[in-house]
Structure 1
Amino acid sequence: MKIYIKEQAASRLAGKLGGGRLKLHYDTEGCGCGVNGVPVLWIVSEPADGDVEIGTNAMPVLVEKSHIVFYADELIIDVSGAHQYRLSSPQEILNGWMNLVRKE
Structure 2
Amino acid sequence: MMDIYITEEAAEKLGNKLTDGKHIKLYYDTEGCGCGVNGIPLLWITGEVAPDDVKIETNAMPVYVEKSHMLFYADKLTISASGANYYRLSSPGEILNGRMNVVIRP
Q: Same fold (TM over 0.5)?
A: yes
Gaps of 5+ in 1: none
Structure 1 residue 48 displacement after superposition: 1.1
Gaps of 5+ in 2: none
Aligned AA (1:50)? D
Alignment RMSD (CA, Å):
0.6
Which structure 2 residues correspond to residues 1-104 of structure 1 after superposition, within 5 A? Answer: 1-18=2-19, 19-104=21-106
Aligned residues with identical type, % of pairs: 65
Count of residues in Structure 1 that have an aligned counterpart in Structure 2: 104
Q: Distance in 2 between matches of 1:48 and 1:33?
A: 22
Structure 1 residue 46 displacement after superposition: 2.1
The TM-score normalised by the length of structure 2 is: 0.96
Structure 1 residue 50 displacement after superposition: 1.0
The TM-score normalised by the length of structure 1 is: 0.98
